[in-house]
Amino acid sequence: MPQIFTVLGARPQFIKAAPVSRAIAEAGMTEVIAHTGQHFDALMSDVFFEELAIPKPAYNLEINSLGHGAMTGRMLEKLEAAMLAEKPAMVLVYGDTNSTVAGALAASKLHIPVAHVEAGLRSFNRRMPEEINRVITDHVSAFLFCPTQTAVRNLKNEGIVNGVHATGDVMFDTTIAAVARAKGRSTILDDLKLTPKQYSVATIHRAENTDDPARFARVVAWLEDAARSTPIVMPVHPRTRKLLSQSGVVPAGLTLIDPIGYLDMASLINQSAAVFTDSGGLQKEAYFHGVPCVTLRDETEWVETVEAGWNRLWTVPDYAPRRDIPDYGDGKASELIASLIRAALEA
């Protein structure tokens, strides 16, 4: 069976890749993983490979802590060399990071078909590097695996209709498995002396919030206000930790902790009263756990969560009426993606 070359680099991609890699192996296909090193801290990287049983990367590129251009350029160079050595039949990328677009560009320039998991998402804010990464990746991909019908429509509006598949959301697959595993392994609520449903969870990491000191101050002030009614636990991204240290800000009412593994995070969200985040992945994970979310951004690519009343932007005073979101599938998106990949490789 021809080989699949998978590019990973950041926490959200590890989470998405776990069930897909498992499904690829179960379908009898061969996968080689390249880890760009975009997230390099053990608590942002290694722990996810261990907890989610992701195959060990064949390539560790160790590219991080650079500007967007330098980081993407170095990834492109090293991924191209790895692809030339491996000669894969397909390159698989996830999400919207610099690792995603570098993998997609390297493959497309080598005329290797690109498959994009989580294709078609749009915030329609071109100031976000993630949005640029999404658009470029989708337009060079041969296979586009969409988590929602909205994503399918977004691609159609951009003239992309070939190779588009509505698969459901692979993060739902991961969440289902993680909740069961976390019950037997995670002790984070006891460690932090938390009472279920008596605390909220927050994360801040996106450049739109951390690169603008005035906006970052507004986000912190908003969280401090929210913490007056419910204590907030915030795993702190390295970029955010550095910013807090430089500014001397000590957010009132927030318990700041180091980044945590996926099982601990799943347990923390599952028992929380609310989630406050600028992360696209956590917006969905909150819904999967049945927890309301407030998105600390001015728009979201996960419009279904807002329309279904599980999520709202921080600039909006209240939620829409609440309902289920059938688009995300039945927890078997990864199996469908693996079967579509196998069919394409056998064609």
The set of catalytic residues is: 205
Alpha carbon of 115 to those of 13, 32, 93, 327, 333: distances in Å?
14, 14, 6, 20, 14
Joined together, the tokens standing for residue 67 give 């500007």
**Token pair for 321:** 């009426």
For residue 10, give the DSSP letter: S
3-class secondary structure, 164: strand
What distance in Å separates the CA atoms of residue 9 and residue 3, rounded to the nearest whole number? Answer: 20
CA distance readout (Å), 319 to 8, 174, 222, 229, 311:
34, 26, 17, 18, 7
Burial class (CB in 10 A: 0-12, 13-18, 19+), 258: exposed
Separate counts of helices (H) and strands (E) for the chain: 15, 13
Phi-psi category of residue 204: left, alpha or beta, with phi > 0 → left and psi -120 to 50 → alpha: beta
| Segments in 252-332 forming alpha helices (H) | 262-270, 280-288, 303-307
Question: Coil, helix or strand for 93?
Answer: strand
User: Phi/psi of residue 203, each to 5°?
Assistant: -140, 145
